[in-house]
Amino acid sequence: MRFVFTRLGKRELVTSLMVVIFIAFFILPFVVVTLKSFSVGWRFPELLPQAYSLNGWQSIFRDPSLRESIVTTLMVGLYVVLLNLLLSLPAAKILSICSFKGKSIIEIALLSPILIPGMLLAMGLQFTMIRFGLADQILGVVLVHLIPTLPYAIRIMRAGYERLGTSLGEQASVLGAGPYLRFFTISLPLLLPSIRSLMLLTFVISLGQYALTAIIGGGNVMTLSLLYYPYFSSSNEAVIAGFSILFALLPLLFIGGVEIVLRLVIRAVNRV
Amino acid sequence: MNGQSGFLNNKKRVITHLLPALAVTMLLVGYGLWSAIAQSFQTIEGEWTFASYVQLFNSHTFFHSLKLTFRVAILSTLLALMIGLIMTRMLYQFFKNSSSKILVWIPILIPHFVAGYLVYLFFSQSGLFSSLFYQLGLLDQRSDFPILVQEEFGIGMILTYVWKEVPFVILMLLPVYYEIDHRYGEVVRTLGGNKWDAFKTVEFPWLLPVIVETSVILVAFIASAFEIPYLLGVTRPEMLPVRAYEWFYDGDWSKRPLAFSAMILPGVLALLLAMLCIGAVQQHRLRMVKGRGR
């Protein structure tokens, strides 16, 4: 009995040590950057800031190009997320429940953007996009952002549908529910965790695109990532730190807004 | 009646449901790839030629860049996989409830270039670690701190990628760990095997396909990513995506074929690597599926 006890204790100790290591490596840096965004002239060799102020954040929010680009970024992100949902939901459903000839080839085709360099595709598409008037526009940027996001969206939704199974849908169908009612009352609520991760991941990937946005957007579609590089070489370190924090805040803001909309939709549907 | 028609028209349903996603993907990937390959073989006047490839194969700088690109990609992938595997193994019980899983999502939330900034903040010569060692009396001045960011080997880039991809690896491996029947581990232990035996015979066969998939994704991604090298790389030798980007925007369009071929070659190399790995695992995968059926 005592043997079991000490073993368990040791194991838990190791686990908690690992948790501490994980937090120290992956979470603590964010705290440091937040601290930095409120600091004044925190330079080598000081271990902690000597003074605090809101100057960094003030100069971020006073920059009109930055405010504009937050709107652009959110718009691009929203369209990318919506398109991903529209395209991946039906495809993932079929891939998870049907088997048919040539399925593996279609699967490989849908996942191919993961393995083929996105920048190469964007460079290849640029000339055509210019000819069709899609370049230098939000629509073109949204389309090209589908390259790094869609495969992940399909992958996530497919796993979601596989967990969901078909029995509940069949049951509802037997009871006379049509496809729309089935979707809104069964699939949507039960797939919510997958839909949430899809939206978060695709938004974050879209947020982090520099090369694709620059090549197709041509400097006209100024998303935040395009502004980050000039900021990085600017001298005010509190501003860069604040800007970096902004990148972590935007997905949270977005997902918070989406969450409210989702809740409203489900409530409205259930009332009918 | 409504539902019935949905289940009957199977073939039509497959096509209508799959077509949008497939069409968009094929248009972007198929057309983009074809156009990129075509433009790599053409001069700006539209003549077909191998000139850009010949020029690349004759240049030492290209091979230096290629070596650097794949060194960074492969080293980061291996390190991220190892650290991610160890962390998943030790923490999968802890991550079981979804509230602690948020911890893994936090590093995924930020773009790669912000992770690059974090590495710069902590590891540059005037960074926080340098300050720490100075305060501890281990350094006399900041130039005593080793150059880790923006140097030739790509340490800063590797650090960034490892930091950013470890959570990704954990998220890929966690579902597998919940799927494994851990009673098999106990069987190994009662039969006299040690921890390593348990890992090798119970966990590893389950993990292998996912590990290969993850590493293929990571190598292909890192070898063709632009954001981090643009922030943390040096000009000599340059990472290939940055070189290609600069050729692409080089004044007149005469260097564009070079830009395309400089991206195609590492892409092809990564693809070959991927096929090799997947082919090697396929055999194993079939055996697993058969074994499960019995």
CA distance B109 to chain A (A): 6
Superfamily of domain A64-271: MetI-like (1.10.3720.10)
Query: Residues B49-56: what's their mean pLDDT?
Result: 84
Q: What is the mean pLDDT of chain B?
A: 85
Specify the domain boundaries for CATH 1.10.3720.10 within chain B: 51-293
Type of residue at B155: I
Q: Where are the domains of chain A?
A: 2-37, 64-271
Residue B163: its pLDDT value, please?
Answer: 95
Identify which of A26, A90, A182 has the shortest CB distance to residue B107. A26
CATH of domain B51-293: 1.10.3720.10
CA distance A243 to B220: 29
Cα distance from N-terminal residue to C-terminal residue, chain B:
40
Q: How confident is the model at residue B205 (pLDDT cuts 50, 70, 90)?
A: confident
Task: Encode pLDDT of A129-177 as tens digits.
Answer: 998 988 889 999 999 999 999 999 999 999 899 888 888 888 888 998 8
Residues of chain B with C-beta less than 8 angstroms from the C-beta of A46: 131
Whether residue B28 contacts residue A199, with contact meaning beta carbons closer than 8 Å, is answered with no
Type of residue at A263: R
Residues 26-65 of B with CB under 8 A from A: 26, 28-29, 31-37, 39
Query: Residues B38-57: what's their mean pLDDT?
Result: 83
What ipTM did this prediction achieve? 0.87
Q: Looking at A198-202, A251-255, B148-152, B238-242, which range is the least confident one?
A: B148-152
Q: What is the pTM of this model?
A: 0.89
Q: Do B224 and A120 touch (CB under 8 A)?
A: yes
Residue B36: its pLDDT value, please?
Answer: 92
